[in-house]
Amino acid sequence: MRLAMISEHASPLATLGGEDSGGQNVYVAELARRLGTMGHEVDVFTRRDDAGLPEVVPFSEGVRVVNLAAGPTRSVPKDEIFGFMPAFRDAFYRFAGEEAAPYDLVHANFWMSGWVACEAKRDLGLPFAQTFHALGEVKKREQGEADTSPPERRAAETRIVEEADRILATCPAEVEELTTLYDADPARLSLVPCGVDGGTFRPVDRRETRRHLGLPDVPTVVYVGRLVPRKGVDTLVRAFALLPDALGARLVVVGGEPGPGPSPEAARLSALADSLGVSEGVTFVGSRPQGELRRFYGAADVAVSVPHYEPFGMTPLEAMACATPVVGSRVGGIKWSVADGETGLLVPPRDQQALSESLARLLSDGALRERMGRAARRRVEDHFTWERVATGAEAAFLEAANTTTGATQTAR
């Protein structure tokens, strides 16, 4: 199958850690990579945000990244990109028209890419599958006035839901949101989660890893992810301040904008830790390359992911693959990927007391941590490898290309 995978703002080539780079970049890169090794030809179309990038960049076996000219050749906040999407559409049409063989299917990622896919279905007759990664109605509900989505988003999402040949929902919560908020046809929904590379993210020797990172050998809580307010890191800092002094715990925060100097959010969180009297116990290490993250998960006794809301959440899977139990928010995909009481503990979002109590419970019970860590690794291997994700996506794509209906499910 020849696949045109559209991801307008999240390129597989991007450096992770910025405000608009994260899970979607990883999803697109890893899914494309696995589909290529399965024998499919995949072109990933993204907006050129660097004048030095060539139009076509070989990425992996069977996979190319195509950088389309649409708007300025610099980074643009994703909520300001929609005005450039007609130019993106036209550039996609040009590139597709010049190819020796036609594409069999478009896989659109995010709503703006879905808008292009709707246009291509109308103008070129290309069927398409859609992965939203986030839904505008949910974002508006959770963020209120802080939601900066453009006004065209809701109408575009409604059109996508009506016209997509297949929609890949990443978790049961998204299935429910699509059917209740968008009146999506359940027969055209496939449950295909995000995944994790169990070879990259794997268990390591905790004490040796701490020595390598220069961290003390004390009970350690680790957060890995973007530093933006909705990720709830301020709740984590407040919960950490409530832990009993006798635990002697340390909090390590991994994330921030790539480049020198702390991000504004990191500075705010550092000031919060100082005001709570725990600054000596909190370490901000800044952004780190994807390949280094497993060391931080491996150094942790407990990993934390407590966003206010989260469409799926990749970092809990990464921690679980490293056999590290997770304390997560009972939201979105996290309440599905983290099996409460088995691979970690779930708490309400924004609840510093519940979070602190869960951290104290795990930090004071080594046997429980070991049991949950082993179960976490098994859960990842059973349900969330990229190979399983690619197999589920392939089945959904074949159904979309053949315009058939029926549900595909890859995890329970």
**What pLDDT is stored for residue 261 in this prediction?**
65
Say if residue 408's pLDDT is above 50: no
- Rounded to the nearest 5°, which phi and psi values hold at 28? -65, -45
Q: Which two tokens stand for residue 145?
A: 């006035």
**What pLDDT is stored for residue 17 in this prediction?**
52
Say if residue 18's pLDDT is above 60: no
CA angle, corner 50, sides to 44 and 51, nearest 5? 110
Co-location of 153 and 211 in the same domain: no
Q: Across 272-350, where does the E strand assignment appear?
A: 282-286, 302-305, 326-329, 344-347
Co-location of 60 and 162 in the same domain: yes
Co-location of 109 and 233 in the same domain: no
Q: Which two tokens stand for residue 353?
A: 């007391």
Q: Band the pLDDT of 264: cuts 50, 70, 90.
A: confident
Letter string b/e over residues 120-145, b meaning 16 or more CB atoms within 10 A of that residue's CB: bbeeeebbbbbbbbbbbbbbeebeee
Q: Across 15-124, where does the E strand assignment appear?
A: 41-47, 56-60, 63-68, 105-109
d(CA 19, CA 356): 27
Name 151's Cβ contacts closer than 8 Å, sequence gap at least 6: none
> What's the rounded mean pLDDT across residues 224-250?
96
In a domain, 33, yes or no: yes
Co-location of 389 and 379 in the same domain: no
* pLDDT single digits (tens) 121-170: 999 999 999 999 999 999 999 989 889 999 999 999 999 999 999 999 99
Co-location of 284 and 345 in the same domain: yes
- Rounded to the nearest 5°, which phi and psi values hold at 183? 55, 40
In a domain, 128, yes or no: yes
Is-contact 343 303, C-beta < 8 A?
no
d(CA 162, CA 182): 9
Other Cβ atoms within 10 Å of 213 Cβ, number: 16
Co-location of 38 and 165 in the same domain: yes
Q: Which two tokens stand for residue 50?
A: 């660097």
In a domain, 152, yes or no: yes
In a domain, 200, yes or no: no
**What pLDDT is stored for residue 259 in this prediction?**
61
Q: Band the pLDDT of 253: cuts 50, 70, 90.
A: very high
Q: Band the pLDDT of 289: cuts 50, 70, 90.
A: confident
Co-location of 21 and 90 in the same domain: yes
Co-location of 378 and 390 in the same domain: no
Co-location of 163 and 310 in the same domain: no
Co-location of 400 and 325 in the same domain: no
**Residue spans of alpha helices (H) in 144-263:** 153-163, 172-181, 206-213, 233-241
> What's the rounded mean pLDDT across residues 57-83?
97
Going 31 to 33 to 35 to 38, the CA torsion angle's sign is negative
Q: What is the mean pLDDT of the chain?
A: 94
d(CA 243, CA 346): 17
**What pLDDT is stored for residue 365 in this prediction?**
98
Is-contact 82 150, C-beta < 8 A?
yes
Co-location of 389 and 377 in the same domain: no
Q: Band the pLDDT of 191: cuts 50, 70, 90.
A: very high
Say if residue 375's pLDDT is above 50: yes
Selected residue with higher pLDDT from 100 and 92: 92
In a domain, 158, yes or no: yes
In a domain, 248, yes or no: yes
Strand order in the sheet with 250-254: 282-286, 250-254, 220-224, 302-305, 326-329, 344-347
Say if residue 275's pLDDT is above 90: yes
> What's the rounded mean pLDDT across residues 378-383?
98
**What pLDDT is stored for residue 96 in this prediction?**
98
Tokens 């939203």 sit on residue: 132
CA 132 from centre of chain: 11
Say if residue 411's pLDDT is above 50: no
Mark residue 246 as left, alpha or beta (left: phi above 0; alpha: psi -120 to 50; beta: remaining). Answer: alpha
In a domain, 50, yes or no: yes
SS3 6: strand
Residue-range definition of the domain harbouring residue 8: 2-195+385-409
In a domain, 201, yes or no: no
Co-location of 216 and 175 in the same domain: no
Q: Band the pLDDT of 16: cuts 50, 70, 90.
A: low
d(CA 208, CA 205): 6
Indicate which CATH number applies to the domain containing 362.
Answer: 3.40.50.2000
* pLDDT single digits (tens) 301-353: 999 999 999 999 999 999 999 999 999 999 999 999 999 999 999 999 999 99
Strands 344-347 and 326-329: parallel
Q: How many domains, the chain? A: 2
d(CA 364, CA 357): 11
